[in-house]
Amino acid sequence: MSVPTPHIRALEGDFAKTVLMPGDPLRAKFIAETFLENARLVTDVRNMLGFTGTYHGKPVSVMGAGMGIPSIGIYSMELYRFYGVETILRVGSAGSMREDVKVMDLVLAQGACTDSNWGAQYRLRGTFAPIADFGLLRRAVEIAEGLGIRTRVGNVLSADAFYDDQEDFNAGWRKMGVLAVEMEAAGLYMNAARCGKKALALLTISDELLTGIALPAEQRQTSFREMMEVALELA
């Protein structure tokens, strides 16, 4: 397949080697307008907006990923395979599954458990363990600690269902020490592994599932900026 792809209208060379991927395309627009210099729109197919600019002189792209593994699976695969992207940083929110993981904490997903069937396509004789690129993870920890950001590193759950029919479907994962739940990291990590590329999910805790505490809108913006500072320094 050549570019443009069925889902991205950008041309060859339009994307930087590193792409930040929030779920919301309007958040991608906000990141481009707020943090990047000379940002330009490079794709808008299905209103999944993507931009390329510079951060402190270094080329960086940002593009929406949508919700769930099937959505980020399409966009990340096309970026890796057809646009020469080497690194994708997922920047998003997550729900805490543990009492010691609080709102505004930054979770760096060392690994991503999942109840998705995404990995079945590889026909492995076992269960693949989706993990982050260690170099990215190590640098992200160093950057966050240097900025004084409360950071947790460990397993997250990439769930297929946002509204699950089971009353406490997270209980088993909590017993296994999983820190938080989101919906995309495992698929991104598997695509990165398959393509021989790099990926890391940086997640701001927006709500605590055990206590019901949720981050107010103003604090969401503050914690989001902290996460973005880590991601952009990492890019």
Residue 5 belongs to some domain of the structure: no
14 is a catalytic site residue = no
> CA-to-CA distance for 125 and 137, rounded, in angstroms?
28
Residue 9 belongs to some domain of the structure: no
> CA-to-CA distance for 102 and 94, rounded, in angstroms?
11
Residue pLDDT tens, the chain, 235 long = 789 999 999 999 999 999 999 999 999 999 999 999 999 999 999 999 999 999 999 999 999 999 999 999 999 999 999 999 999 999 999 999 999 999 999 999 999 999 999 999 999 999 999 999 999 999 999 999 999 999 999 999 999 999 989 888 889 999 999 999 999 999 999 999 999 999 999 999 999 999 999 987 666 666 789 999 999 999 9
Q: How many domains does the chain have?
A: 1
- What is the CATH classification number for the domain harbouring 139? 3.40.50.1580
> CA-to-CA distance for 37 and 216, rounded, in angstroms?
29
Residue 168 belongs to some domain of the structure: yes
Q: Supply the pTM of this predicted model.
A: 0.96
Give the number of residues written for the chain.
235
Range of the domain at 202: 18-234
Show Cβ contacts of residue 49 under 8 Å, excluding neighbours closer than 6 positions. Answer: 25, 26, 28, 29, 41, 43, 63, 64
Active-site position among 24, 44, 160, 207: 207
C-beta separation of 160 from 116 below 8 A: yes
- Residue 220: predicted pLDDT: 67
Taking phi over 0 as left and psi of -120 to 50 as alpha, with beta for the rest, 82 belongs to: alpha
> CA-to-CA distance for 23 and 68, rounded, in angstroms?
9
Residue 10 belongs to some domain of the structure: no
Residue 62 belongs to some domain of the structure: yes
Q: What distances in angstroms separate CA 209 from CA 139, 167, 171, one per listed residue?
A: 29, 12, 11
